[in-house]
Structure 1
Amino acid sequence: MKIFECGNCAHPLYFENASCEKCGHLAGFSITDLDIRTFQSANYPLSSDIGNQQFKYCKNHQYEVCNWLIPFENPDEFCLACSLNRMIPDLSDYENFEKWKKLESAKHRLVYQLLRLRLFIPTEGESGSLKFDFISKQGNDQIMTGHKNGLITILLSEADSVHREYMRKQMSEQYRTLIGHFRHEVGHFFWDQLIAPYENKLADYRKIFGDERADYGAALKNHYQNGPSPNWQQNYISSYAGSHPWEDWAETWAHYLHIMDMAETAFYFGMSVSPKLKDKSLQGSMPFDPYGKNEFQEIIEAWTPVSFAINSLNRSMGLPDVYPFVLSPNVVNKIKFIHQLVVSATTS
């Protein structure tokens, strides 16, 4: 994610900041220019320090879970990200409320990234709209995190770090985070948007990922009963990706978003690495905004040395790697396919 700053005093701001910690100006995120706007007072309408535009906060600002802005003349109460909610938990329950805050933070970051990719996000009333349910099992084991016809369900328990770590070990996963869930499940949604309606894209997809018409239930049952195929690392980003072509797509899509977000962050921080090694292969920098690149090869070559350095810093603190994955040539080709698909969909 890019770095934001206060429009009044230029103090650095996080994406979630609703005020500047240095000068006290109010702050809010505007989807018009994908940037933070600042305001001197809380009087409505909010008058931006830059330009003559006037705004109001999303209704969820009252819960301190959203700092997104809406043009004052717009009758909508909720911002784009919050308007995607179909169901949220009972907020009178403190534990539910705290988990919902974490879910909203991850979802807002997801929506920001989709906007940066210039992907169309159909909302309620539009064909193939995207919606979210944030719920608990409530004794019903049939309720699971997943996607169906544009509805993404995220279990509240995934916002519990202890439970999430337990599930990560139970499922033998290298990585399990809230943003990871969001990116994976929205991958299923965009398969429906970018692949399914187009015969030519379906044909290309099947050459790379396999035939999604294979029995999904049987494929998952085989995966959980017999484990991944031998040498799965050569063809898949995770063992779960090898269970079925749909899951391969969603897992690869999630990693595409992981890499793009990390690369954008590295670019805005001006990150470069020059290791004290005779081998110069780990020297590199992120000198460009990845969202402006048409060729993914340039992105992966610039990002790889930076990601290695970040993993090494984490190991210095006894923490797991930030990106604990090895990208085989076959996986890189899959990510390239996704990148070209996104680029063509947003430039045509």
Structure 2
Amino acid sequence: MKRFVCDCGTTQSLFFESSRCLSCQRLSGYCYKENAMLSFDETKESGVFMARGSRYQQCKNYRHHQVCNGMIRLANEVQPNGEALCFACHFNSNVPDLDVPEHLPLWRKLETAKRRLLFTLQSLGLPIRDREQEPEAGLSFSFMADKTAGDHFNSPLADQEPVFTGHANGNITINLAEADDVARHAARVAMGEGYRTLLGHFRHEIGHYYWDVLIARHPVLLGEYRKVFGDERESYQDALDRHYKRSNDDDSWKGEFISRYASMHPWEDWAETWAHYLHMLDTLETAQAYGIVTEVENAAVIDTKEITLPQEERYYGKNSSIEDIVSNWIYFSVVLNALNRSMGLPDAYPFVISDAIRAKLAFVHRTIHSVG
């Protein structure tokens, strides 16, 4: 993630999630067309804000629910539309039932993770087609619950079918329980996972979406994929049954797969590897943007305050090196884990990248940069 700074004359950081500058107290928000966090001045026009000489309005979900911070630029003389959605919110197919008070803060967490995901996808120049552009398989998101939020999702809702986090034909469904820290921790422990985050779910499921977009439709890439990850035509249900019969203590997957879940089926191996690739890029960019050395101790730190899309060639460009990315990540993840331990926290990245996993990451890298 880039580092954003308010233009109020201070060095006050604007985080990607910020809704107000803590120094000048102006409204702030993210503008997708400009790829920038900006602070805004109020105007005499109702619902209109000014920044850098242009008129803006808040996304409907920002203005009414404060679950996003998207700002929409208005053409001259165009009046604000109270129903207008920002780039991120217009992908929503289903949102949580807001008649349940506990759902609102959980929806806010979902939107925060989704916006960060979309930022990375845009940074990589990946195609992002919505349901209007591609009605049968365009990208959309459904955020749904099948249990009650009041008891951390322990009690089933009446007349509600089970909601499974997953991807199907472009639609990514996230069970609202994943946004509840208590429920998500319980699931992580029950499944013997070392890592389970909301952002991780989004990055994993979008991997399935891009498998359909980038690989399934391209025979040459599909053949290469099968050589690296295996044959996805293997019965998914059989693989799923075998996976959940295995003990959480079974570590036979280590070395060949980035996680236990990745060992279940070639589709999941791809999605898990894809998610880790995005973990690496976003974290390395954030570290560099804040002047943290991410390689050898005496490496030069590059100022990235003025990065615009496409992101810095080192991590996001077509000429970026997967060897450079992985080597820097291995070094920095050790530092990251050491920092966490100094705070009494679990390792931020409890994974080992073997040569086999490097090869899979390299395939993900090549596939992404084959676009266009």
Confirm or deny a common fold (TM above 0.5): yes
8 Å CA contact 2:294, 2:328 repeated in 1: no
**Aligned twin of 2:305:** none
For 2:297 and 2:74, locate their aligned partners in 1 and report how far apart those are by CA, in whole Å: 49
Matched letter for residue 133 of structure 1: S
Q: Does residue 1:304 correspond to 2:313, yes or no?
A: no
8 Å CA contact 2:258, 2:351 repeated in 1: yes
Distance of aligned partners of 1:41 and 1:227 in 2 relative to their CA distance in 1, 3 Å threshold: same
Deviations 1:98-145 (A, max 9, x none): 111111111111111111111111112112211111111135564211
**1:88, CA displacement in angstroms?**
0.8
Deviations 1:25-73 (A, max 9, x none): 221211123111222225543221x2x3322111111211111121213
Q: Greater RCO between the two (CA within 8 Å, min separation 6)? A: 2
Could you tell me which of 198, 206, 214 is aligned with 1:194?
214
Could you tell me which of 110, 130, 142 is aligned with 1:133?
142
State the identity %: 41
3-state SS of 1:217 partner: helix
For 1:253 and 1:316, locate their aligned partners in 2 and report how far apart those are by CA, in whole Å: 29
**Aligned twin of 2:309:** none
**Aligned twin of 2:169:** 149
CA RMSD of aligned residues (A): 2.0
Any gaps of 5 or more consecutive residues in structure 1? Answer: 275-280
Distance of aligned partners of 1:145 and 1:180 in 2 relative to their CA distance in 1, 3 Å threshold: same
Matched letter for residue 207 of structure 2: G
Alignment of 1:1-348 (within 5 A): 1-9=1-9, 10-41=11-42, 43=45, 44-48=47-51, 50=52, 52-62=53-63, 63-73=65-75, 77-127=84-134, 128-137=137-146, 138=157, 140=160, 142-227=162-247, 231-272=252-293, 287=302, 289-292=314-317, 293-345=319-371, 348=372
3-state SS of 2:282 partner: helix
Mean Cα deviation higher: 4-13 or 107-116: 4-13
**1:264, CA displacement in angstroms?**
0.8
For 2:294 and 2:262, locate their aligned partners in 1 and report how far apart those are by CA, in whole Å: 31
3-state SS of 2:173 partner: strand
3-state SS of 2:369 partner: helix
Distance of aligned partners of 1:315 and 1:230 in 2 relative to their CA distance in 1, 3 Å threshold: closer
Matched letter for residue 281 of structure 2: M
Deviations 1:213-266 (A, max 9, x none): 000000110111135876311110011111100000011111011111111101
Structure number with higher helix proportion: 1
For 1:116 and 1:286, locate their aligned partners in 2 and report how far apart those are by CA, in whole Å: 21
Any gaps of 5 or more consecutive residues in structure 2? Answer: 147-156, 303-311
Deviations 1:303-344 (A, max 9, x none): 222221111011112111111111111111111111111112
For 1:248 and 1:330, locate their aligned partners in 2 and report how far apart those are by CA, in whole Å: 12
Matched letter for residue 275 of structure 2: A
For 1:303 and 1:284, locate their aligned partners in 2 and report how far apart those are by CA, in whole Å: 14
8 Å CA contact 2:262, 2:270 repeated in 1: yes
Matched pairs, number? 338
Distance of aligned partners of 1:150 and 1:273 in 2 relative to their CA distance in 1, 3 Å threshold: closer
Mean Cα deviation higher: 159-168 or 69-78: 69-78
**1:273, CA displacement in angstroms?**
6.5
**1:283, CA displacement in angstroms?**
6.9
3-state SS of 1:234 partner: coil
The TM-score normalised by the length of structure 1 is: 0.91
